[in-house]
Amino acid sequence: MEYIVSARKYRPMSFDTVVGQLALTTTLKNAVKSGKLAHAYLFCGPRGVGKTTCARIFAKAINCQNPTAEGEACNECESCKSFNEQRSLNIFELDAASNNSVEHIKTLMEQTRIPPQVGKYKVFIIDEVHMLSTAAFNAFLKTLEEPPAHVIFILATTEKHKILPTILSRCQIYDFERMTVQNTIDHLKHVAEKEGIAYEDEALAVIAEKADGGMRDALSIFDQAASFCQGNITYQKVIEDLNVLDSDNYFRIVDLAIQNKVSDIMVLLNSVINNGFDGGLLIQGLAKHVRNVLMAKDPQTLPLLEVSEKAKQRYTEQAQRADTRFLYGALRLMNQCDINYRQSSNKRLLVELTLIEIAQLTQPDEGPSNGLRPRKLKSLFKQLIQQAQPKQKTAPQVAAAAPVIQKEADSTSTKTPSATGMTGAPEQPQKASQRPAIKASSLGITWKNLRGAGKPQKMQILPDAANVQNDEHEEFTQDELELQWMSMCNRMPQKFSGIATRMKNMNPVILQMPDVEVVVPNQIAKDEMEQIKGSILKTLKIYLHNSEITLSLRVAEQEEREVILSRREQFELMSSQNSAIERLRKAFDLELA
């Protein structure tokens, strides 16, 4: 016996057997019963939802000589029998994908002149009508607008937006719906019972989700799974055959993230990647899973889950353990990861960082946060980091020493910078402690003064540099200060490229938290930096999260200035430090250019 795939074997033959299109089939049946038929119909919707099938059923019903009271074909008259035996001369099917030229349409139009031999109408079903060329559409327009009384056109397409508006205005448009997961599962159960195939509900749910709303795709996947499982479709065999990531992984990741078990999540991610699954697909699947958990928190949104009843129960149980803010934050992080995944050069690291941040959403913050800046990664192995770091002065000791330094600075605030430099203090810390505490309000030039009447001199280092928060007082290290200084120099506009290059060679120093000093090589560089000092200060305040930062500029003393050597002086210095360089020069008889 010849084998027929399920998509053809169980193709609906009547309106009542069409799955998931109740409103549409009811409208077509009522049109058949009342006899109020349009001359052109357009069936549009996703693939595999029954557009061509409904077109055939409708064409058979309107030509039936004895339709039922419900508007169905009788399947007993000569017209129905000839259609079922595929010998009907009144119903024509044309594939516009391969017959899309003007000549094909003209040939079709010539056939419309011949009246039907049996039945009332000649029905022309044009599948994938959006594939017709523009010239073919134009040749089709006149006949479509005023066809003979015995002609009905049924057009089918998956891409309605590609059809000319002049065609759309001449048709009754029917939009087919995607198949719901539950409708697909019910139909697959019916097919499995007819074929005598054992199944698990979870396995059919996986097939329905994989089909993505297409019944033809679902039946094709069903046949594939039935062949692999040899008559017993189980959940484990289906996910193995279809290479689908087990949903248990998503449930485990969410549970581990709620408990802040980052290490376990990393081990689970490694096993998933080793099994051949892509990290991007994991993030997409996890985002869909978290969305379902969020929908399961409210009984009103629970019906939005297109999963089996057993899966709904699992989602509801996990929704009771997960906080709503955690789910919102996880969705935002995964959406950002999905956006950046394709451009990332290290995709696995991006996925790992995203999962780490998700696992830390429920972890208490280690420091103050104003909710406006991005979340910092918290210490995963905090004890190991503290053991590896060298012992430094603790925060209470620094806080206790601050009033003394401030008192000394106030006592010397009347001295001029040149007088301070003449004291001959041998040690730099004493010199720094004697410097007066400079207020941020008394330094730099405001944006308003910089604009003036001429060309604006505004420097946009940071787009929102004016939005400085006044309630941030985080301490920062010397390394963090140097990092933000270099980042700021790299962001400076092109017209400030000269001063930006010189600023990269300057090292800002923390005198006393949060006072920062920058030693400039000469007075010219100092004058240029004074003009943009306000923007520099605001940028440091934002990126170092401390609104009390002050910035002072000082011209380097003679002994602090770096001596610039010529090429010959550099070579002589290297030769004096390493005799092998001089021997190499003599061996090859080299001369300095």
Please check whether residue 318 lies inside any domain of the structure.
yes
Compute CA 89 distance to the chain's CA centroid, rounded to the nearest angstrom.
Answer: 53
Shared domain check, 160 and 24: yes
Please check whether residue 360 lies inside any domain of the structure.
yes
Task: Give all strands (DSSP E) within 12-95, no chain letters.
Answer: 40-44, 91-95
Instruction: Give the residue among 240, 242, 337, 244 at the shortest CA–CA distance from 283.
Output: 337
Query: Could you give the CA distance from residue 223 to residue 137 in angstroms, rounded to a whole number?
Result: 38
**Helix or strand holding residue 7 (H, E):** helix 6-9
pLDDT tens sequence across 505-532? 888 888 888 888 888 888 888 888 888 8
Q: What is the CATH number of the domain that holds 231?
A: 1.10.8.60
Domain end residue (candidates: 157, 175, 193)? 175
pLDDT tens sequence across 169-228? 888 899 988 888 888 888 888 888 888 888 888 888 888 888 888 888 888 988 888 888
Query: Ramachandran region of residue 243, left (φ > 0), alpha (ψ -120 to 50) or beta?
Result: left
Domain end residue (candidates: 159, 175, 191)? 175
Q: One-letter amino acid identity for 287?
A: A
Shared domain check, 518 and 479: yes
More confident residue, 117 or 172: 172
Please state, in angstroms and as integers, the Cα–Cα distance from residue 180 to each residue in 19, 210, 233, 534, following that order. Answer: 10, 12, 21, 60
Please check whether residue 423 lies inside any domain of the structure.
no
Query: Could you give the CA distance from residue 506 to residue 528 in angstroms, rounded to a whole number?
Result: 14
Query: Could you give the CA distance from residue 332 to residue 339 in angstroms, rounded to a whole number?
Result: 11
For residue 452, the model assigns a pLDDT of: 42
Shared domain check, 163 and 257: no
Instruction: Give the residue among 44, 65, 47 at the shortest CA–CA distance from 55.
Output: 44
More confident residue, 578 or 432: 578
Please classify residue 502 by burial: count the beta carbons closer than 10 Å to its beta carbon, then call 0-12 exposed, 13-18 middle and 19+ buried.
middle
Domain end residue (candidates: 242, 260, 294)? 242
Is the model's pLDDT at 145 over the cut of 70? yes
For residue 432, the model assigns a pLDDT of: 39
**Helix or strand holding residue 517 (H, E):** strand 515-520
Shared domain check, 73 and 27: yes
- The structure tokens listed for 242 are 């279809």
Please check whether residue 389 lies inside any domain of the structure.
no
Shared domain check, 448 and 362: no
Q: Rounded mean pLDDT of the chain? A: 78
Considering only 92-106, 113-127, 279-293, 432-446, which range has the smallest mean pLDDT? 432-446
Phi, psi of 551 (to 5 degrees): -130, 125
Phi, psi of 200 (to 5 degrees): -110, 140
Q: What is the CATH number of the domain that holds 493?
A: 3.30.300.180
DSSP state of 514: T
Shared domain check, 227 and 318: no
Please check whether residue 209 lies inside any domain of the structure.
yes
Tally of domains within the chain = 4
Q: One-letter amino acid identity for 158?
A: T
Beta bridge partners of 552: 517
For residue 400, what pLDDT band results from cuts at 50, 70 and 90?
A: very low
Shared domain check, 11 and 65: yes
Shared domain check, 190 and 149: no
Instruction: Give the residue among 466, 470, 467, 475 at the shortest CA–CA distance from 514.
Output: 475
Domain span at residue 104 reads 6-175
For residue 254, what pLDDT band results from cuts at 50, 70 and 90?
A: very high
Pairing of strands 40-44, 91-95: unpaired
- The mean per-residue pLDDT over the stretch 62-82 comes to 84
Residue 22 C-beta-side C-alpha neighbours within 13 Å: 3
Instruction: Give the residue among 69, 73, 108, 68 at the shortest CA–CA distance from 92.
Output: 108
**Cα 442-443-448 angle, rounded to 5 deg:** 95
Shared domain check, 169 and 38: yes
User: Are the CB atoms for 184 and 211 separated by under 8 Å?
Assistant: yes
- The structure tokens listed for 67 are 């339709």
DSSP helix/strand/coil, 563: coil
User: Which one of 388-397, 468-477, 517-526 scores highest in mean pLDDT?
Assistant: 517-526
Compute CA 549 distance to the chain's CA centroid, rounded to the nearest angstrom.
Answer: 37
Q: What is the CATH number of the domain that holds 18?
A: 3.40.50.300
Beta bridge partners of 156: 43, 127
Please check whether residue 302 lies inside any domain of the structure.
yes
Residues 6 or more apart in contact with residue 51 via CB below 8 angstroms? 43, 44, 45, 156, 157, 158, 176
Is the model's pLDDT at 434 over the cut of 50? no
For residue 310, the model assigns a pLDDT of: 80
Query: Could you give the CA distance from residue 157 to residue 84 in angstroms, rounded to a whole number?
Result: 24
Please check whether residue 583 lies inside any domain of the structure.
no
For residue 144, the model assigns a pLDDT of: 83
Please check whether residue 578 lies inside any domain of the structure.
no
Q: What is the CATH number of the domain that holds 314?
A: 1.20.272.10
Shared domain check, 300 and 191: no
Instruction: Give the residue among 197, 412, 235 at the shortest CA–CA distance from 311.
Output: 235
User: Are the CB atoms for 125 and 94 separated by under 8 Å?
Assistant: yes
Instruction: Give the residue among 53, 279, 281 at the shortest CA–CA distance from 176.
Output: 53
Shared domain check, 292 and 326: yes
Is the model's pLDDT at 469 over the cut of 70? no
Query: Could you give the CA distance from residue 456 to residue 238 in angstroms, rounded to a whole number?
Result: 67
For residue 248, the model assigns a pLDDT of: 86
Is the model's pLDDT at 31 over the cut of 50? yes
For residue 405, the model assigns a pLDDT of: 36
Residues 6 or more apart in contact with residue 281 via CB below 8 angstroms? 245
User: Are the CB atoms for 45 and 7 separated by under 8 Å?
Assistant: no
Considering only 255-269, 272-286, 307-321, 456-470, which range has the smallest mean pLDDT? 456-470
Global pTM value: 0.55
Q: One-letter amino acid identity for 1?
A: M
Query: Could you give the CA distance from residue 234 to residue 238 in angstroms, rounded to a whole number?
Result: 6
The DSSP string of 170-235 is TSEEEEPPPPPHHHHHHHHHHHHHHHT-EE-HHHHHHHHHHHTT-HHHHHHHHHHHHHHHTTEE-H
Shared domain check, 145 and 71: yes
Residue 450, Cβ neighbours under 10 Å: how many? Answer: 16
Q: Of all residues in the chain, what percent carry a pLDDT higher than 70?
A: 80
